[in-house]
């Protein structure tokens, strides 16, 4: 074991060279950005007194960061659960390490159950964070059942090879849609994941609307707000469709624009995050791309190959030219060589060919 720092907390985690499911208790330092964004998102919502569930807590890092870093009044009660005895032992040690008293503390409940039983035996939560190793599929049903009205469901998927089309059959089986392995596969995969979660919610008359979505390294992440009602569910289902010979996918918005503004604004002024350049750049890119309602983005290298464009000018220049034509254009967090825009492909090719 070793003691490390993440965000504002200390953490005891297994010493290991390789991040794998076989770790005694799972901890992946690369996922700190996933937790940073969760903290910022919860702080940016107009919600207080939340009942929070962390059903797959592992070392407890996420919950402990919530307890230490969220604005006062955000948490009414937090449930920290893992079916592994070793994990629960470590969660208790990590709470103590951060001077959080969990005995006789009405705000904190530690559980050692199967995540589905834990969720189903509960009376519901305002925030559920499904952050597994691999696919979130085994937990979607109970999470959708127990997310409260206007509650937020957060879902991570690390099985991106299925969602992005390395294994199309695996995607069909697990996510009920055909992926496409091409230049924009990460966005297609994310939209396939969103639709799958929405279909599970639809069964329980819950319309799950994405408010913040992204892919990073080898995972995908989405936050959805749950709205109750049959008509709202139809509105969601109407926005499922094929795109670019893949799908069905979610064709609606990936972000709530105002929330993206707020998250960025909170990040740049937050003690813990204001010097985290990678995080701030990432959130800034999303803030700008969230303003453009387009499905998919343009990969400039891919397009210049396909249309035999010999020399590309700088991305900044290309974006400016697109804007001069009256369209929107921004970078995209999905890819460095990508541009999100509402311009059509033919017009874009003209721009790239300097016509
Ligand atoms: N959310 C954690 C990482 C979780 S790794 C973080 O932010 O660091 C996945 C964890 O889920 C492991 O600790 C594993 O023991 C636990 N787990 C897997 N299947 C489970 C199940 N069915 N019920 C409860 N816990 C489970």
pLDDT for position 208: 98
DSSP state of 353: T
pLDDT for position 163: 98
Work out which ligand 1 atom sits closest to the CA atom of 25.
Answer: 13
φ, ψ at 238 (rounded to 5°): -65, -25
Contact 12, 27 (CB under 8 A): no
Q: Indicate if ligand 1 lies below 6 Å from the C-beta of 78.
A: no
Work out which ligand 1 atom sits closest to the CA atom of 117.
Answer: 23
Cβ contacts of residue 350 below 8 Å, gap of 6+? none
pLDDT for position 18: 74
Distance CA 255, CA 1 (A): 39
349 dihedral zone (left: phi>0; alpha: psi -120 to 50; beta): alpha
- Separation of CA 317 from chain center: 31
User: pLDDT per position in the chain (355 positions), as tens?
Assistant: 999 999 999 999 998 777 777 778 999 999 999 999 999 999 999 999 999 999 999 999 999 999 999 999 999 999 999 999 999 999 999 999 999 998 889 999 999 999 999 999 999 999 999 999 999 999 999 999 999 999 999 999 999 999 999 999 999 999 999 999 999 999 999 999 999 999 999 999 999 999 999 999 899 999 999 999 999 999 999 999 999 999 999 999 999 999 999 999 999 999 999 999 999 999 999 999 999 999 999 999 999 999 999 999 999 999 999 999 999 999 999 999 999 999 999 999 999 998 7
Q: Indicate if ligand 1 lies below 6 Å from the C-beta of 133.
A: yes
Distance CA 40, CA 44 (A): 6
Work out which ligand 1 atom sits closest to the CA atom of 58.
Answer: 13
Residue with tokens 């990678």: 278
Residue with tokens 């001077």: 99
Q: Indicate if ligand 1 lies below 6 Å from the C-beta of 24.
A: no
Distance CA 216, CA 346 (A): 30
pLDDT for position 249: 98
Q: Indicate if ligand 1 lies below 6 Å from the C-beta of 115.
A: yes
pLDDT for position 291: 98
pLDDT for position 48: 98
pLDDT for position 81: 98
Contact 15, 2 (CB under 8 A): yes
User: How many CB atoms are closer than 10 A to CB 130?
Assistant: 24
pLDDT for position 15: 87
φ, ψ at 20 (rounded to 5°): -150, 170
Buried b (16+ CB within 10 A) or exposed e, 205-215: ebbbbbbbbbb
pTM for the model stands at 0.97
């Amino acid at each position: 074991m070793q003691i490390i720092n993440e965000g504002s907390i200390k953490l005891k985690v297994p010493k290991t060279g390789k991040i794998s499911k076989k770790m005694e208790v799972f901890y992946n330092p690369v996922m700190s950005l996933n937790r940073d964004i969760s903290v910022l998102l919860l702080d940016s919502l107009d919600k207080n007194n939340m009942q929070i569930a962390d059903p797959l807590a592992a070392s407890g890092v996420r919950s402990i960061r919530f307890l230490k870093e969220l604005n006062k009044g955000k948490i009414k009660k937090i449930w920290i659960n893992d079916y592994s005895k070793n994990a629960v032992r470590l969660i208790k040690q990590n709470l103590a390490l951060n001077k959080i008293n969990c005995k006789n503390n009405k705000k904190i409940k530690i559980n050692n159950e199967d995540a589905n039983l834990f969720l189903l035996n509960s009376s519901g939560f305002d925030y559920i964070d499904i952050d597994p190793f691999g696919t979130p599929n085994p937990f979607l049903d109970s999470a959708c059942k127990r997310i409260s009205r206007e509650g937020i469901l957060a879902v991570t998927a690390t099985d991106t090879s299925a969602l992005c089309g390395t294994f199309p059959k695996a995607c069909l089986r697990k996510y009920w849609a055909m992926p496409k392995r091409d230049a924009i596969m990460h966005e297609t995969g994310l939209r396939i994941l969103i639709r799958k979660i929405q279909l599970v919610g639809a069964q329980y008359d819950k319309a799950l609307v994405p408010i913040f979505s992204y892919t990073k390294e080898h995972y995908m992440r989405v936050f959805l707000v749950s709205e109750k009602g049959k008509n709202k569910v139809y509105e969601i289902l109407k926005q499922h469709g094929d795109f670019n010979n893949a799908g069905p996918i979610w064709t609606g918005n990936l972000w709530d624009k105002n929330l993206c503004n707020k998250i960025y604004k909170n990040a740049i002024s937050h003690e813990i995050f204001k010097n985290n350049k990678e995080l701030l750049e990432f959130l800034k890119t999303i803030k700008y791309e969230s303003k453009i309602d387009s499905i998919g983005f343009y990969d400039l290298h891919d397009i210049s190959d396909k249309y035999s464009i010999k020399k590309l000018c700088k991305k900044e220049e290309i974006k400016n030219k697109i804007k001069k034509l009256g369209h929107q254009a921004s970078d995209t967090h999905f890819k460095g060589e990508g541009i999100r825009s509402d311009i059509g492909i033919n017009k874009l090719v003209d721009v790239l060919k300097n016509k």
